[in-house]
Structure 1
């Protein structure tokens, strides 16, 4: 039996360090904070989305059984403690007492069971989150404040997954009475801030929850404005109409604008986000692995990072950063070798003047600059690349999943668990949303084989093997692991930048 349990004194200390208190007397909140986020997720239901832009807001509306803050350490959330039973086949969670949803509904074992029955059932099947939690067989109620989570197979990162996205605990009565569609647009959780109003494509407004189990927020209001245009977001920050700009809005080229403004500052921390241009391996010239390798060899990524990203990123060899479990520092990328690229293209029968299309997010200014440079490099080896910008939601929800991309397409991935499984399974396993082209039985077997392992060393070995296999097949042009860059008004006090953009704002004030 393996126990994960915190005594009351220890729990209080841990929560205090993570910016929360337990059963604190409600304080009178004051002040409003306005945040610029680049994207409207379109639904606030935890099972409907994978978007970081959802988590930016919803970390303040919902809670999970566990919580991971800016220091990336896992601590209790709505579960006060947990322990593994039956050689890891069951996890028993002891739940917090006296916690209420924003509508007054009590949080208890029933709401935990409802949340996971819903996630793993027909409703969850409509969204992208269920595949992250398929190790769970069932959630069984032991008593009002104890649940057992039975597992089909061990999942070594499940406790981290319970801290975010699809595992956020939702109110059974509210959803049953109001319906799924209503809940999508009018979210209710147990978090530090309550939903007030939502205007699609414009903003979402929240108000302080004075009864929050982690202590009443110091702010009275939060407003998240959806601003996709970087210049507009920075102008609003300069004008004082926005207090915080969330990554990845701010392009590298606009950093000096903020740094030279005495009222503003930059907060930059190494993050999980990696950028790549992935290949259409089904159609056209990029169906040939020699062509894919030639394209990789044609691009001087080190120069791109130095000249465009000015030190705010590091080069990657696989689709993960150095902080990811499964990262292989020994893995070598294909070198920058334009002459070698030309030879490979000739071997593949690709003649000078061949054309490809690169699909990118229209509002990603930094990637627009990077992609233009990549097109210039490709021109030097005889390939003419055209850039096709898409509205982000269209690219992510239609073009990529439906396999309608050009030869290459932008993929920006948060990898928020800091575990390569969370990225690799979604990107490379047959039938997954983000893998519209590849069906590789060998790769599927590798991905599936590491998930049940509790031996970290053995699992890490397989994850490294996956990284090497994908690199050898040249399924993408890996670019860089970028910093999370926040633009912030100096009026904001108590803000701690989070690598994964999931920021609780209950301890923040605005002067």
Structure 2
């Protein structure tokens, strides 16, 4: 039986920070067959190859289907549009056959060329797509992305991609990559219709995918609505009519709307509802928790000379009391980090960070002195609309009390503005780099975050030794051996500490009692095709 608290807004349980919250109430106004989902403005227009953050990818996953898909229960990999993905013995050459009969939302067919043209467009450097580096292992990528600044690539086609027939294409890689099939469910690998290439700007205003839902409408900074695509050829067809993604500036406000019946899904329960398991009392059967592929970190802008010394970065890491913060702020629901990889992912190795992720005030002070101290104010920057204020304040307080330097939490109003600043390299202090795996592999916590020039390496970390370790892992003959080699690459990060691991977290999502069946995935998303509604009460 679900219990509800409708009388009052939530109070933050600790004095480290106070969030202004608003109580929701009344009818949401959404039609009966529309499910409403908590959301935030994405960083970029909704093009798969240019969408590498969570808000945008939530919509991409509704509008598009990939070659493979990930189980909402355990993130295991299954074919979606792919009939088969056949590797060569050395995992350097792949033959991909797609299922016939699939169409985009405009009725045009999805063909092998739909994938090849989309991948070429994303990989071509002058197009400036954030997901371009996902194709760096394909032969010809270097020609599309010359090192000389301002140089024009000699071609806009990846030489490693060949269309064989309407349902078959081949991929030749620069070097073996055993986990390549696992990667192919990520949004950067989605196909694109011909209409995109004819009118990219028009597509941005009205995306056309091949997934279970089609784009219907959008009001910027307010909502985006998708509706069921009845021509969807996948096995998991949508059972509801529409999904409305609603923009919230405060996670607490979204949670109150959930509790009061004005919202159907919250991706993350706010910390104000964790103390005393308030959220379980509020939501009853709608409180869902499962292991997640999620980590929370703080990064250094290594393009700022003040943060170049690794001893300074290690000192700050060792000044953070993770055990106390996770216990007091998150009611023990987070696990203090001992490395850069989530414990729930296959291939995780404990204690990769070693002493540098252990709270040690004396050693932290010694390292700070060795680094020559820190002058001025040290900022911790995060978006203010994602429920990060309390823990950011607590981390700032721990560093300040331990090292005796001025540390302040500086919120950026919205996630989209925060991401714009990250991409523009505008940060003058440490900044939040929470991460949700792109696909279920230890590699997803490493390559795109720490390889030189990678898509989410917003701090400009570069270490040739680390890059070479990734190359060795990519070339492993089996996935278990690849996992061992990726773990060896992870250990190199402890030498440099470009990013401070804070904690890993489970998925703690909230569902309304309108939903008869619904699943939060290990990627902290609502599995939209599993959602069904309870019969309407007379």
| Shorter-normalised TM range | 0.7 to 0.9
Partner of 2:400: 379
Per-residue deviation, 1:113? 2.5
Distance 1:35 1:120 in 2: 32
8 Å CA contact retained: 1:59, 1:503: no
Distance 1:485 1:328 in 2: 24
Per-residue deviation, 1:163? 0.6
| Structure 1 residue 476 corresponds to structure 2 residue 499 | yes
8 Å CA contact retained: 2:42, 2:53: no
8 Å CA contact retained: 1:115, 1:170: yes
Task: Classify the secondary structure of the residue corresponding to 2:355.
Answer: coil
Give the TM-score normalised by the residue count of structure 1: 0.86
8 Å CA contact retained: 2:313, 2:498: yes
**CA 1:449/1:496 → structure 2, altered by over 3 Å: closer, same or farther?**
same
| Structure 1 residue 207 corresponds to structure 2 residue 256 | no
Task: Classify the secondary structure of the residue corresponding to 1:304.
Answer: helix
8 Å CA contact retained: 1:286, 1:292: yes
After the TM superposition, which residues 149-160 of structure 1 pair with which residues of structure 2 at under 5 Å, given as runs?
149-160=171-182
Q: Among 337, 349, 354, which residue is 1:328 paired with?
A: 349
Task: Classify the secondary structure of the residue corresponding to 2:494.
Answer: helix
After the TM superposition, which residues 1-400 of structure 1 pair with which residues of structure 2 at under 5 Å, given as runs?
31-70=33-72, 71-85=74-88, 87-121=90-124, 125-137=127-139, 138-172=160-194, 174-177=195-198, 179-214=199-234, 216-247=237-268, 250-255=269-274, 258-261=279-282, 265-281=286-302, 283=304, 285-331=306-352, 332-334=354-356, 335-350=358-373, 355-365=377-387, 367-380=388-401, 381-390=403-412, 391-398=414-421, 400=422
Deviations 1:323-343, CA, capped at 9 Å, x for gaps: 335532243233322122223
Two-structure CA RMSD over aligned residues (Å): 2.5
8 Å CA contact retained: 1:41, 1:54: yes
**CA 1:85/1:397 → structure 2, altered by over 3 Å: closer, same or farther?**
same
Distance 1:265 1:117 in 2: 43
Distance 1:230 1:90 in 2: 45
Distance 1:506 1:31 in 2: 13
8 Å CA contact retained: 1:170, 1:189: yes
Task: Classify the secondary structure of the residue corresponding to 2:409.
Answer: strand
Give the TM-score normalised by the residue count of structure 2: 0.82
8 Å CA contact retained: 1:281, 1:288: no
Distance 2:449 2:238 in 1: 38
**CA 1:348/1:107 → structure 2, altered by over 3 Å: closer, same or farther?**
closer
**CA 1:120/1:280 → structure 2, altered by over 3 Å: closer, same or farther?**
closer
| Structure 2 gaps, min length 5 | 1-30, 140-159
Task: Classify the secondary structure of the residue corresponding to 1:211.
Answer: coil
Q: Among 442, 459, 463, which residue is 1:420 paired with?
A: 442
Partner of 2:15: none
Distance 1:379 1:506 in 2: 47
Distance 2:487 2:301 in 1: 23
Per-residue deviation, 1:238? 2.5
Deviations 1:143-169, CA, capped at 9 Å, x for gaps: 222222222222222212211211112
Per-residue deviation, 1:495? 0.8
**CA 1:379/1:135 → structure 2, altered by over 3 Å: closer, same or farther?**
closer
Distance 1:378 1:262 in 2: 36
Distance 2:283 2:243 in 1: 24
| Structure 1 gaps, min length 5 | 1-28
Runs of 4+ in 1 over 6 A off after TM superposition: none
Deviations 1:108-167, CA, capped at 9 Å, x for gaps: 2232322222222357x4111121122233332222222222222222222122112111
8 Å CA contact retained: 1:66, 1:79: yes
Distance 1:501 1:56 in 2: 10
Distance 1:346 1:135 in 2: 42
